[in-house]
């Protein structure tokens, strides 16, 4: 038996770490050696006759009886059955350049504590934990300090001989990081009639056979097995803490002395309590409490910090800005009162378009779908958590944006997801990865796995996305998670009235995610993974799925009148926002907790996932609570809305916080921030004319951002719910890159929702104004390319920028926002929601790696009849290929320049007068059935788009560059092929429809540039009439598919 120890120090309740250095991976070799030694000793310490329980001999012995004991189950794959995870790990080890590992095995470990009989242990092993066809198990009691026997004897029983001299590492989560499997195992035990199971912890044991020096094993642990933010290598010491976590501190109401504090003290208070409040804000708080004639409690400071955080308040985009622009020596200055209102929201207001049912008010933007229903759309970012723990960060990002949809109106049903990422390239040199940062390969795999896990388990098709790469994302990747919901039109509005109960539903509250909102408003540093261990969580999609199912049933029964999600800032933000116009009383001791020992402040600001807050009329409360209970969802009335204008917090009958709503929401001081933009003074590079254009094309197709993302797409269930009507992969072999995705949310209707996105930070390196226009234009272009029209389209903005206190960073953001306004007005598409994530940079000592300012535009539209859409794959030999739109020498920021190591200056420009008209004409032509396939020209220009059409359709193509509509000055073949001029479409038109098609596009730049053929060759005839590219289509496709092959 392990000794039970209770600590009372608050500090001890934090996730402990093996070597006492706060969550970081302990120093290497000695510890690892210790671990493997310890585990083997432990093995030998028990007497097989009495202790071991192999299949066949099922006597599990002694310590069971009436006291709680911890047991260790190990589950391994039977000989003769493959273990794909072990195989992949072995490949990953080889990828690290580590030789000598002959065999890898992975064993699943469960620590099970409780009062259990030997029979019950046997049942748990046989009926619950193993799949008897492919797995076997062992169980043993956990011993704290195993006696060491003379070191003769063989390896462990039942294992292959290869492993006798193997090295063993066991990895578990830190205490407090909850693995959802733990609850499932308890539920499964109850189904077997076993009631004595108290606690479960999961771990994985990795064994490596072969010669593996200690420092290589450390590298494997560091790079592949352990993420120190959430995981640890199991040692005797931390195992005891895992199985018997020390209790937290008893209730204390901490008062913070501010009234007499100097500026230095104010700043220190902000730092010490991770408030992320600046001096002006601390002063405003000090002034407020001076008027109240008392000191604030910590919980009050936390509440203000959450509410005033950049994450919740968007104080930069909504605050005053002094903007200076200097172009060609001309200086213009102006003061912007509220950037969002004066650009993005203003465009929406001025467009005043029919069908926008809720904009910038709710958790997502809502537009009309059909007579009965509306659709809502939201895209969020989860960058910082994903940098530290890619799987957990991305999965909770998906979970969070789904709750935005569930928390829109009276709750919408999630119907589709979109996910866009920016990473450092997978081949980023390992030695250049800054300390404290995970290698991009691991970030990519983790993020994709996280999105997959949450989205697939929620049963929401992930149908659209994009992935971009740049070295600057190495310490701070971008993870945008978007979700679309379907909601009855009469459920779009919500209302909170005094007297209504505040109901918290869903997952339990733990210490996880404490300070997530304030954390996301800080830059990442090498220390982030130490200070922010609690800011990262593991998602629990099944809890959210249950919550979603029950919530929508309760909605349809009219059992609540308002709902919102518990996201950043937790209850503090959710209740604070819902009660902004009224008031609220919350009784924190009623909040169901994952474990004891949370302080009232922690309960109040915890960002534990999978929780929603509802406003419920007292008369409906019992029915609502019953309905949730029946669906296995915990729901609790934790307070009530009042008309006091005050937020009042209690714990066990004691008032722990009291703040005026007016101050909470209106008290944040406005800070005039300087912003400056001037052109970066870039030059066009001098590039020699390439001798081999085929080679240029192959290289373009193999670029990380252009190449096939099939590895990612297929891991997402993009067809669940049955509505997928235009899939992300199309063509003769289901492998071509579709433009926009279309889902039909009502299976009995041909009506569809079309989704797309536009993003390219390289244009922003030249001019953020054009980046914004191009992002909007790209998103719309993709919708048009599948046959959608712009009339019903609405868009979202997502700004990911660096530190806005730097004038040049804020200046570029201002310029991008202006581009957003101009684009929305010109195309007539309103913004309906948006989000900004600032402070995206990574600090190593004094050196700062800021991300490039990156704007994502996500577009949603309605198509009346999905059966009239077209896909991008070429359909038929003999049909003509038309290029609509002018190709200009605009290669600044292009993929072609980037592949040669240049940025350039000639950023593509959108013709705001012609572009909308051209899009309408193309959309109409497709609607009339004049084109059988269509594809837009984006990264890699005409050459890449045409090649994609050809290989997706399994056809050859002959192109004539002379026919490409362009200014006469453009005479370089490489520029014609790879220019990224916007608003260009490639359309495949059957010969017999050519005349009608040309009439439909009359007045626009139009060229009949080629013809598809059976002969599977991609041929380009140069300006001189000679063939400049002649490559087998298959070769092009292989180049395009190569980069992620074998991942």
> How big, in percent rounded to 5, are the helix, strand and coil portions of the chain?
35, 25, 40
**Distance in Å, CB of 753 to another protein, minimum:** 13
- The whole-angstrom separation of Cα 852 and Cα 26 is 34
- Judged by beta carbon, residue 13 or residue 139, the one nearer another protein is 139
Minimum distance from residue 620 beta carbon to another protein (Å): 21
The two most distant CA atoms of the chain are separated, in Å, by 92
Check residue 91 and report its DSSP letter: H
| C-beta closer to another protein: residue 140 or 873 | 873
How many C-beta neighbours within 10 Å does residue 808 have?
16
Between 451 and 664, whose beta carbon lies closer to another protein? 451
Closest Cα to residue 948, out of 758, 729, 727, 715? 729
CB 142 within 8 A of CB 2: yes
Nearer to another protein, 520 or 871 (CB): 871
For the CB of residue 400, give the shortest distance to another protein in the complex, in Å.
18
Distance CA 416, CA 398 (A): 11
Please report which residue ranges of 172-258 form alpha helices under DSSP H.
Answer: 181-191, 214-220, 236-243
CB of 130 vs another protein, minimal distance in Å: 8
Helix (H, G, I), strand (E, B) or coil at 876: coil
Is 354 noted as a catalytic residue in this protein? no
The answer to whether the CB of 379 falls within 8 A of the CB of 480 is yes
Shortest distance (Å) from residue 88 CB to another protein:
5
**Phi, psi values for residue 313, rounded to 5°:** -100, -20
Q: What are the structure tokens assigned to 632, written together?
A: 């296995």
Q: How far apart are CA 58 and CA 969, in angstroms?
A: 85
Q: Which is nearer to another protein, 731 or 819 (CB)?
A: 731
Q: Beta-carbon neighbour count of residue 237 at 10 Å?
A: 13
Question: If we measure between CA atoms, which residue out of 237, 241, 242, 235 comes closest to residue 221?
Answer: 235
- Least Cβ distance, residue 341 to another protein (angstroms): 40
- Smallest separation (angstroms) from another protein to the CB of 184: 4
CA 804 centroid distance within chain: 22
Closer CB to another protein, 849 or 955, in the complex: 955
Instruction: Select 522 or 548, whichever has its Cβ closest to another protein.
Output: 548
Q: How far is the CB of 129 from another protein (least distance, A)?
A: 6
Q: Which is nearer to another protein, 84 or 1024 (CB)?
A: 84
Residues 6+ apart with CB under 8 A from 992: none
For 861, the token pair is 């539209």
Task: Output the smallest distance, CB 180 to another protein, in A.
Answer: 6
- Collapsing DSSP to helix, strand or coil, 135 comes out as strand
Within 10 angstroms of residue 974's Cβ, the number of other Cβ atoms is 20
Minimum Å gap between C-beta 513 and another protein is 20
Residue nearer to another protein on the CB measure, 562 or 730 = 730
Residue with tokens 């002969």: 1015
The enclosing H or E element of 40 equals helix 28-45
- Which segments within 706-763 are labelled E, that is strand? 724-726, 729-730, 736-737, 741-743, 752-758
User: What is the spatial distance between Cα 102 and Cα 893, in angstroms, rounded to a whole number?
Assistant: 46
Q: Which is nearer to another protein, 98 or 451 (CB)?
A: 451
Q: Report CA Rg, the chain.
A: 30
Rounded CA gap, 355 and 295, in Å? 50
Helix (H) or strand (E) holding 985: strand 985-989
Instruction: Find the DSSP H helices in 273-331.
Output: 279-292, 298-307, 310-313, 315-318
Catalytic residue among 174, 382, 665, 718: 382
Sort residue 112 into left (φ over 0), alpha (ψ -120 to 50) or beta. Answer: beta
Q: Is the Cβ of residue 460 or residue 568 nearer to another protein in the bound state?
A: 460
Please pick, among 52, 273, 311, 515, the residue that the annotation labels catalytic: 311
What is the number of other CB atoms lying within 10 angstroms of the CB of residue 626?
12
Beta-bridge partner residues of 989: 880
The contact set with another protein (CB under 8 A) reads: 81-85, 87-88, 127-129, 131-134, 180-181, 184-185, 187-188, 191-193, 452, 456-459, 540-542, 545-546, 549, 630-632, 713-722, 724-727, 729-732, 734, 744, 747-748, 750, 866-867, 869-871, 873, 875, 933, 953
Comparing C-alpha atoms, which of 718, 724, 777 is closest to residue 754?
Answer: 724
DSSP string, 44-84: HHS-HHHH---SS-----TT-TTS-EEEEEEEEEPTTS--H
Beta bridge partners, 827, equal: none
As a whole number of angstroms, the distance between CA 783 and CA 107 comes to 48
Nearest approach in angstroms of CB 962 to another protein is 30
Residue owning tokens 């004319």: 689
Q: Is 839 marked active-site?
A: no
What is the nearest approach in angstroms of another protein to the Cβ of residue 672?
50
Cβ proximity to another protein, 388 vs 729, nearer residue: 729
In the DSSP assignment, the letter for residue 590 is G
Residues 6+ apart with CB under 8 A from 693: 973, 974, 977, 1020, 1022, 1028, 1029
**Torsion angle defined by CA atoms of residues 154, 156, 161 and 166, in that order, rounded to the nearest 10 degrees:** -100
Q: Which is nearer to another protein, 606 or 725 (CB)?
A: 725
Q: How far is the CB of 763 from another protein (least distance, A)?
A: 31
Q: Active-site residues: which are they? A: 311, 382
């Amino acid at each position: 038996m392990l000794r039970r120890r209770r600590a009372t120090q608050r500090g001890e309740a934090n996730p402990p770490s093996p070597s006492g250095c706060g969550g970081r991976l302990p120093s290497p070799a000695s510890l690892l050696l210790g671990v493997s030694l310890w585990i083997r000793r432990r093995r030998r310490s028990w007497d097989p006759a009495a202790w071991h329980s192999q299949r066949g001999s099922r006597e599990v012995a002694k310590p069971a009886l009436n006291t709680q004991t911890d047991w260790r189950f190990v589950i391994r794959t039977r000989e003769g059955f493959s273990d794909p995870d072990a195989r992949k790990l072995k490949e990953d080890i080889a990828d690290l350049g580590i030789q000598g590992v002959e065999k890898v095995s992975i064993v699943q470990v469960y620590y099970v504590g409780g009062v259990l009989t030997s029979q019950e242990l046997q049942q748990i092993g046989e009926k619950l934990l193993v799949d008897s066809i492919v797995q076997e198990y062992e169980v043993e009691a956990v011993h704290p300090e195993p006696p060491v026997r003379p070191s003769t004897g063989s390896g462990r029983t039942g294992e292959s001989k290869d492993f006798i001299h193997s090295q063993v590492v066991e990895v578990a989560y830190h205490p407090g990081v909850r693995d959802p499997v733990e609850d499932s195992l308890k539920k499964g035990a109850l189904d077997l009639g076993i009631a004595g199971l108290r606690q479960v912890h999961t771990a994985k044991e990795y064994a490596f056979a072969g010669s593996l020096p200690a420092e290589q094993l450390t590298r494997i642990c560091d790079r592949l097995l352990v993420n120190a933010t959430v995981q640890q290598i199991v040692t005797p010491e931390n195992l005891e803490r895992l199985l018997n976590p020390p209790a937290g501190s008893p209730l204390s109401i901490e008062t913070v002395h501010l009234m007499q504090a100097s500026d230095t003290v104010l700043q220190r208070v902000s730092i010490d309590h991770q408030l992320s409040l600046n001096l002006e804000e601390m002063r405003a708080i000090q002034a407020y409490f001076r008027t109240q004639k008392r000191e604030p409690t910590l919980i009050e400071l936390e509440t203000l910090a959450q509410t005033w955080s950049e994450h919740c308040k968007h104080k930069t985009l909504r605050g005053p800005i002094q903007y200076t622009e200097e172009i060609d020596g001309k200086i213009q200055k102006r003061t912007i009162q509220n950037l969002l209102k004066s650009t993005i929201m203003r465009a929406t207001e001025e467009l005043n378009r029919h069908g926008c049912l809720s904009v910038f008010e709710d958790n997502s933007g809502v537009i009309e779908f059909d007579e009965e229903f509306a659709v809502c759309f939201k895209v969020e970012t989860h960058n910082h958590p994903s940098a530290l723990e890619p799987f957990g960060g991305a999965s909770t990002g998906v979970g969070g944006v789904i709750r935005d949809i569930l928390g829109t109106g009276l709750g919408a049903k999630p119907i589709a997801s979109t996910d866009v990422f920016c990473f450092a390239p997978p081949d980023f040199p390992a030695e250049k990865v800054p300390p404290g940062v995970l290698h991009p390969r691991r970030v990519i795999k983790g993020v994709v796995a996280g999105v997959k896990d949450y989205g697939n388990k929620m049963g929401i098709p992930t149908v659209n996305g994009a992935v971009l790469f740049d070295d600057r994302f190495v310490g701070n990747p971008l993870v945008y998670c978007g979700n679309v919901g379907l909601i009855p039109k009469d459920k779009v509005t919500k209302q909170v009235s005094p007297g209504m109960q505040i109901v918290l539903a869903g997952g339990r509250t733990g210490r996880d995610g404490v300070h997530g909102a304030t954390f996301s408003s800080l830059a990442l540093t090498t220390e982030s993974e130490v200070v922010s261990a609690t800011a990262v969580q593991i998602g629990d999609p099944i809890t959210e799925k249950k919550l979603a199912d029950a919530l929508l049933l309760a909605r349809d029964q009219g059992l609540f009148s308002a709902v919102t999600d518990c996201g950043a800032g937790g209850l503090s933000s959710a209740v604070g926002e819902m009660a902004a116009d009224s008031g609220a009383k919350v009784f924190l001791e009623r909040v169901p907790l994952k474990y004891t020992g949370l302080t009232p402040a922690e309960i109040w600001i915890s960002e534990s996932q999978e929780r929603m807050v509802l406003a419920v009329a007292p008369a409906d409360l019992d029915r609502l609570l019953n309905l949730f209970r029946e669906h296995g969802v915990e729901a609790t009335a934790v307070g009530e809305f009042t008309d006091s204008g005050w937020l009042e917090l209690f714990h066990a009958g004691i008032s722990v916080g009291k703040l005026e709503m007016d101050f909470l929401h209106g008290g944040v001081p406005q800070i005039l921030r300087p912003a400056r933009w001037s052109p970066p003074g870039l030059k066009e590079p001098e590039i020699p004319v390439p001798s081999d254009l085929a080679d240029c094309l192959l290289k373009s197709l193999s670029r990380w951002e252009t190449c096939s993302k099939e590895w990612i797409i297929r891991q997402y269930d993009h067809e669940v719910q049955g509505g997928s009507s235009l899939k992300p992969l199309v063509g003769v072999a289901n492998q071509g890159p579709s433009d926009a995705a279309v889902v039909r949310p009502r299976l009995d209707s041909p009506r569809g929702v079309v989704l797309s996105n536009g993003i390219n930070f390289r244009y922003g390196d030249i001019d953020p104004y054009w980046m914004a226009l191009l992002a909007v234009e790209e998103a719309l272009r993709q919708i048009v390319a599948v046959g959608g029209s712009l009339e019903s389209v609405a868009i979202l903005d997502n700004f990911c920028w660096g530190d806005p206190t730097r004038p040049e960073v804020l200046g570029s953001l201002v310029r991008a926002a202006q581009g957003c306004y101009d684009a929305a007005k010109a195309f007539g598409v309103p913004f309906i929601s948006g989000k900004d994530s600032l402070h995206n940079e990574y600090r190593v000592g004094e050196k700062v790696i800021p991300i490039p300012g990156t704007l994502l535009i996500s577009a949603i539209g309605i198509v009346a009849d999905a059966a009239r859409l077209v896909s991008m794959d070429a359909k038929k030999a003999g049909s003509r290929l038309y290029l609509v739109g002018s190709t200009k020498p605009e290669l600044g920021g292009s993929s072609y320049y980037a592949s040669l190591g240049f940025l350039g200056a000639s950023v593509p420009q959108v013709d705001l007068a012609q572009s909308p008209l051209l899009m309408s004409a193309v959309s109409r032509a497709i609607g009339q059935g004049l084109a059988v396939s269509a594809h837009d020209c984006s990264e890699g220009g005409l050459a890449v788009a045409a090649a994609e059409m050809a290989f997706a359709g399994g056809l050859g193509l002959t192109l004539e560059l002379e026919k490409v509509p362009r200014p006469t000055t453009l005479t370089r073949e490489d520029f014609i092929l790879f220019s990224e001029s916007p608003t260009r479409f490639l359309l495949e038109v059957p010969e017999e429809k050519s005349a009608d098609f040309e009439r439909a596009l009359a007045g626009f730049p139009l060229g009949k540039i080629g013809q598809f053929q059976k002969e599977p060759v991609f041929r380009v005839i140069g300006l001189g009439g000679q063939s400049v590219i002649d490559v087998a289509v298959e070769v092009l496709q292989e180049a395009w598919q190569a980069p992620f092959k074998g991942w």
